[in-house]
Amino acid sequence: MTALNKYQRLEASGLWRATTDEQRREVIASIGDATLVISDMRDQPLTHWSIAAIKRSNPGKLPAVFHPAGDSSETLELAEHETEMVAAIEKLQKAIHRKDSRPGRLRGAMVAASIAAVAAGVVFWLPDALRNHVTSVVPDINRVVIGQDIMGQMSAVTGQACQEEIAVGALGKLALRLDLNEIVVVPGGIRSTASLPGGVVLVSRAILEDHEDPAVVAGYVLAEKLRAEANDPLGKLLETGGIWASFRLLTTGQLKTETLRDFSETLAGEIPMLVEGDLLAGAFAQAQVPATPYAYAIDISGETTIDLIEADALIDSDTEVMSDGEWVALQEICNS
């Protein structure tokens, strides 16, 4: 986490292309909250990559070329003089990728914390207490890694995440607006939305295809974000895995594949809980997103969502959720 904070204001110029068929364009790369944000020269976000899932295609050579894991067609080439950004990415990569790193300060601190807690007589062996302790000491960047691991397991249930350049860019901008690390659209396997550790929200393609206003999608995502704030996805994962999952994460920084797979199956069958209307209304107002489309999508009569409809009076903004072109592309994201 110290390394992440050190580089959060770092920016670098580079050349980015979304696919091998497109020409490279000049962009600005900056390190955000466990993500690498790629913006155009007008400071408009084009996409953002999870730092946990960035690969370098030419180690040791300059200019450095990076791409998202599993998609070498999308690339970011950093100029030869941008050595500080290259070093920052690689330092964060070493901190993230567990099998390539030595037991580090995180593991030592976690083990020391557990020993100190036991020595002080705190009853961490009780499942709830131990789980709460673990969730309080795991840094955000490690949550991102765990979230990516879960997503890999969930692909067997949901299908591979849908990808399309314009649509993914629109999702990236929406994620930044709603203060999330990432929004991912999946073909199926979940009822509507689901949260992963690391600030990732999964959205079923059905939500995009069944509604005609992007504010509805934003509403589903905001509701899911509030659920995650009320019930930490990492805590839910450890509850599914039992006390030994908590102890294993605390002492080794890792979780078994079986634990991740069981949790992915739990998420697939989960029915999203209702969110209190006043909390949701406040989230809409803060994000400057109209609440009425979502309110009528949930209840066509509006009777049970009247608080959200009335909350629109608090929003004094004409800012659109996304452009018409982005919305059309997003609705077709799983058909490309």
What pTM was computed for the model?
A: 0.70
**Do 91 and 177 belong together in one domain?**
no
Within-domain flag for 125: no
**Do 168 and 26 belong together in one domain?**
no
**Do 205 and 325 belong together in one domain?**
yes
**Do 85 and 157 belong together in one domain?**
no
Within-domain flag for 120: no
pLDDT value, residue 123? 47
pLDDT value, residue 263? 93
Q: In the chain, which stretches have pLDDT less than 50? A: 1-3, 99-103, 118-124
**Do 81 and 156 belong together in one domain?**
no
**Do 87 and 153 belong together in one domain?**
no
User: What is the extent of the structural domain holding 22?
Assistant: 2-99
Long-range residue pairs from 5-8, CB within 8 A, at least 24 positions apart, any chain: 6/88, 7/31, 7/88, 7/91, 7/92, 8/32, 8/33
Nearest one of 19, 57, 51, 52 to 37, comparing CA atoms: 51
Within-domain flag for 129: no
**Do 94 and 144 belong together in one domain?**
no
The total number of structural domains in the chain stands at: 2
Distances, alpha carbon 305 to alpha carbons 281, 287, 295, in Å: 10, 18, 5
In the chain the beta strands, taken as DSSP E runs, fall at 11-17, 25-31, 35-39, 45-50, 54-56, 65-68, 75-78, 182-186, 193-196, 200-204
**Do 206 and 301 belong together in one domain?**
yes
- What's the CA gap between 126 and 169, in Å, rounded? 44
Nearest one of 166, 66, 6, 37 to 28, comparing CA atoms: 37
Q: Helix, strand, or coil here: 77?
A: strand
Within-domain flag for 80: yes
Within-domain flag for 236: yes
Q: What is the CATH number of the domain that holds 84?
A: 2.30.29.30
**Do 178 and 77 belong together in one domain?**
no
**Do 195 and 252 belong together in one domain?**
yes
pLDDT value, residue 119? 43
